[in-house]
Amino acid sequence: MPLAVIRNDITKMSVDAIVNAANTSLLAGGGVCGAIFSAAGADKLQRACDSLAPIETGDAVVTKGFALPAKYIIHTAGPVYLDGKHNEEALLRACYKNSLDLARKQKCESIAFPLISSGIYGYPKAEALEVATSEISDWLKQGDMDVSLVVFDKTAFVISTGLLGEVRAFIDENYVDERNLRFSRGRTPPAPGGESIVADAAARSIGMFEREGPLTPDAAAPMPETAEKSKRVEAGLAQKRKLPPAPPAAQLAPTVFRKPETVGDAMVKLNEPFSATLMRLIDAKGKTDVEVYKRANLDRKLFSKIRSGKGYMPSKKTAIALSVALELSLSETRDLLERAGFALSRSVVFDVIIEFFITRKKYDVYEINNVLFEYDQPLLGG
């Protein structure tokens, strides 16, 4: 995944380079900086840094990783936050851009950042996160690299309270607990809320997002027991409602397809494979392949596999990422997901969050991922 937000110890990341939120003197400090020096071997790293010091705020220099799993350490000096009116944002953006440029110069394919300046330098965490994701995503539009934004725990990761409040309200209004629904005999259950609901839903969702690869005959098939139950339920509903029998196939009007000219037309071929529909939508939206896979936070190689149409099917989170990149409506997103064997459900927190962003036409995959991370959900992309 080109950009992922993860909880981890940055000193244990197996990437080509990690970034040290350094001071301009490149001296061992506290926080992340002190942890990196300690894990790398403080004496050796300090000698290497002494030959490069001092640096300006926003600049970046590189040393070996020494005892770290990472091959390189890129040291960048973040700004001390005063009031936001002393060029702090531009300097913080320079930290990310210069670090990424230097990593590319070192032929790195992967890099891990801390949330620069958000500790003792006082940069407001929500603003620091917005700058980080914005600058990294802008860089990734022109370059290819796997980037991790590493936070040790959620106390170092704060999203706009306004956005989180909107998301929580939407979940409270739209989330349906299947267990309550099962016992309510059709009555709408009370709106759930709180972390226990999210944690419970997340636990019940484990494994449902990860299928990605060649489609086997049974990959999208329901479990026999589930299929049998579904048949019994449908039969019971039909009998209760006294539904008339379906007309014979011969009486049905033939389906006529025409050459698609619009996005709506692009969705009409019910039996069209996922890859064919995806390519048709890209053309209908007037976008390029590169633009789509970068906006979807996808690796170019993964997109090529999906594009090939040789039976390779995306995972649910990847299919949704492509829908977001194409700025599809909710109905168009549901249609595209069906072609990969998936659906959106009001009883899955991940799906409700996705519905929130799509119905509000918020198509920034990085903003969506920040909220998904807050709710301990899988991130979009691949």
Summarize pLDDT for 87-122 with one digit per residue, the tens: 999 999 999 999 999 999 999 999 999 999 999 999
Residue 183 and residue 192 in contact, taking contact as beta carbons nearer than 8 Å = no
Residue 250's pLDDT is: 43
| 178 and 110 inside one domain | no
Q: What is the rounded end-to-end Cα distance, in angstroms, of the chain?
A: 4
Residue 270's pLDDT is: 56
Strand order in the sheet with 72-77: 3-7, 146-151, 110-113, 17-22, 72-77, 60-64
| 196 and 334 inside one domain | yes
Q: How far apart are CA 144 and CA 136, in angstroms?
A: 11
Taking residues 328-356, what's their average pLDDT? 96
Type of residue numbered 129: L
Taking residues 244-258, what's their average pLDDT? 45
User: Which one of 155, 180, 203 terminates a domain?
Assistant: 155
User: Which one of 155, 183, 205 terminates a domain?
Assistant: 155
Is 100 domain-assigned?
yes
Each residue of 136-195: pLDDT tens digit?
Answer: 999 999 999 999 999 876 666 777 778 889 999 999 999 987 655 554 544 444 444 444
Residues in the chain: 382
The model's confidence at residue 220, banded by pLDDT at 50, 70 and 90, is very low
Backbone angles phi, psi at 177, to 5 degrees: -80, 115
Q: How far apart are CA 139 and CA 94, in angstroms?
A: 11
Please determine, for residue 325, whether its predicted confidence score (pLDDT) is greater than 80: yes
| 313 and 337 inside one domain | yes
Residue 311's pLDDT is: 78
HEC-encoded secondary structure of the chain = CCEEEEECCHHHCCCCEEEEEECCCCCCCCHHHHHHHHHHCHHHHHHHHHCCCCCCCCCEEEEECCCCCCCEEEEEECCCCCCCCCCHHHHHHHHHHHHHHHHHHCCCCEEEECCCCCCCCCCCHHHHHHHHHHHHHHHHCCCCCEEEEEECCHHHCCCCHHHHHHHHHHHHHHCCCHHHHHHCCCCCCCCCCCHHHHHHHHHHCCCCCCCCEECCCCCCCCCHHHHHHHHHHHHHHHHHHCCCCCCCHHHCCCCCCCCCCCCCHHHCCCCCCHHHHHHHHHHHCCCCHHHHHHHCCCCHHHHHHHHHCCCEECCHHHHHHHHHHCCCCHHHHHHHHHCCCCCCCCCCHHHHHHHHHHHCCCCCHHHHHHHHHHCCCCCCCC
Domain count, the chain: 2
Say which residue, 156 or 244, is predicted with more confidence. Answer: 156
- CA within 13 Å, CB half, 196: 1
| 151 and 277 inside one domain | no
User: Two tokens at 25?
Assistant: 């003197």
Is 226 domain-assigned?
no
| 140 and 170 inside one domain | no
The model's confidence at residue 257, banded by pLDDT at 50, 70 and 90, is very low
Least confident window among 28-37, 224-233, 298-307, 326-335: 224-233
Angle at 345 between CA 230 and CA 280, to 5 degrees: 100
Q: How far apart are CA 306 and CA 213, in angstroms?
A: 9
Least confident window among 37-41, 212-216, 249-253, 326-330: 249-253
| 147 and 27 inside one domain | yes
| 63 and 110 inside one domain | yes
Please determine, for residue 29, whether its predicted confidence score (pLDDT) is greater than 70: yes
The model's confidence at residue 236, banded by pLDDT at 50, 70 and 90, is low
The model's confidence at residue 211, banded by pLDDT at 50, 70 and 90, is low
Q: Which domain holds residue 24?
A: 3-155
Residue 251's pLDDT is: 46
User: Which one of 112, 132, 155 terminates a domain?
Assistant: 155
CATH number at residue 89: 3.40.220.10
Residue 118's pLDDT is: 93
| 10 and 22 inside one domain | yes
| 140 and 169 inside one domain | no
Is 242 domain-assigned?
no
- How does the average pLDDT of the chain come out, rounded? 83
Q: How far apart are CA 301 and CA 284, in angstroms?
A: 23
Residue 296's pLDDT is: 97
Tokens 């040790």 — which residue?
Answer: 152
| 75 and 147 inside one domain | yes
From the list 78, 67, 65, the residue with the least C-alpha distance to 17 is 65
